[in-house]
Homo-oligomer: A and B are copies of this chain.
Amino acid sequence: MILTVTLNTALDITYRVRGLRPHASHRVSEVTERPGGKGVNVARVLAALGHEVTVTGFTGGATGRVVQDQLTATPRVVDALVPVTGATRRTIAVVDEHTGDTTQLNEPGPTVTPAEWFAFQEAYEGLLTSATAVALCGSLPPGVPVGAYAGLVRTAKAAGVPVLLDTSGEPLRRAVAARPDLIKPNADELAELTGSHEPLRATQDARRRGARSVVASLGTEGLLAATPEGRWRAVPPARLHGNPTGAGDSAVAGLLSGLVEQLPWPDRLVRAAALSAASVLAPVAGEFDAGTYEELVGRVAVTGEVSAA
């Protein structure tokens, strides 16, 4: 199975309202709830692609139970979240029916105690024994040390499990030094890591800092990959309008599934770019429009060069 780690899981709630006005009272016309957090979104996309996935991270309180109930009801997804005393956070996306714009309210999430962090690391090490790959995704909740991902990368490498890392800031900087197999920064995260706003140069720099491979997600400019096997760029044929939340998570799922299926890099990038574009047409993160994906797979343009052996 593929293991995804989401230390800051969430219950993602979407409200539809007619025109959000500060200081007014609004009747919500439609409520949807989905398990959320980046690694959970990655897991749902992987499962939709046919992979067996195990989800770990933290869960607590009534919101955590809803997240677990929904994960358990998802085919090919196994819930291996570790209990904490605090409650799993909610994120609320208020979608304005008039404009389509979204206002986001994100709860901070529970503070993880040292004992809970220790229990997670034990569970993680056990889960790695049956994992073909692991994705470490998203921000760190309060209480988890800033070097958390660096430690989790080292544990995966010691267990011989390929590790993909998708985070930002200081946790990313520290974990890159622990030599993950793949990182997937967006343009801002890559610039923050390397100090360079020039993606070609920055992806190379991120490799020098420790990442074996780097795939930068550059929005409408597609994906830029710097790997030991070569460098490529994958660009979808057209801009799609919709909800960009979760496009990065779909790209991670595409890269990870391509890795465990041992696809050549260009094929992995095509899959990741097509999934990412197709998820823009889905109403919530962690989902994608299957018809668009099938259609785009044949139309993503990949250019690049294989490294000299």
Give CA–CA (A29, B106) in the complex, Å: 9
Chain B, residue nearest A94 (CB): B105
Contacts of A15 in B (CB 8 A): 105, 107
**Which residues of A from 103 to 135 have beta carbons under 8 Å from B?**
103-108
Give CA–CA (A101, B107) in the complex, Å: 19
Contacting pair A22 B106 (CB below 8 A) = no
Contacting pair A23 B102 (CB below 8 A) = yes
Interface string of A284-306 (1 = CB under 8 A from B): 00000000000000000000000
User: Would you call A66 an interface residue if the criterion is a C-beta within 8 Å of the partner chain's C-beta atoms?
Assistant: yes
Contacts of A17 in B (CB 8 A): 105
Contacting pair A107 B24 (CB below 8 A) = no
Give CA–CA (A73, B221) in the complex, Å: 55
**Which residues of A from 139 to 195 have beta carbons under 8 Å from B?**
none
Contacts of A243 in B (CB 8 A): none
Contacts of A101 in B (CB 8 A): 22-23
Which residue of the partner chain, among B28, B62, B92, contacts A63 with CB atoms under 8 Å? B62
Chain B, residue nearest A63 (CB): B62
**Which residues of A from 17 to 65 have beta carbons under 8 Å from B?**
17, 20-29, 31, 62-63, 65
User: Would you call A79 an interface residue if the criterion is a C-beta within 8 Å of the partner chain's C-beta atoms?
Assistant: no
Give CA–CA (A23, B105) in the complex, Å: 10
Known: A29-B108, A94-B105. 15 other contacts (CB 8 A): A17-B105, A20-B22, A21-B22, A22-B103, A23-B101, A23-B102, A23-B103, A24-B103, A28-B105, A28-B106, A28-B108, A62-B62, A62-B63, A62-B66, A92-B92
Binding site for B on A (CB under 8 A): 15, 17, 20-29, 31, 62-63, 65-66, 92, 94, 96, 99, 101-108
Which 9 pairs across A and B sit closest by C-beta, in order of nearness? A25-B104, A23-B101, A62-B62, A62-B66, A28-B107, A20-B22, A26-B105, A22-B103, A31-B107
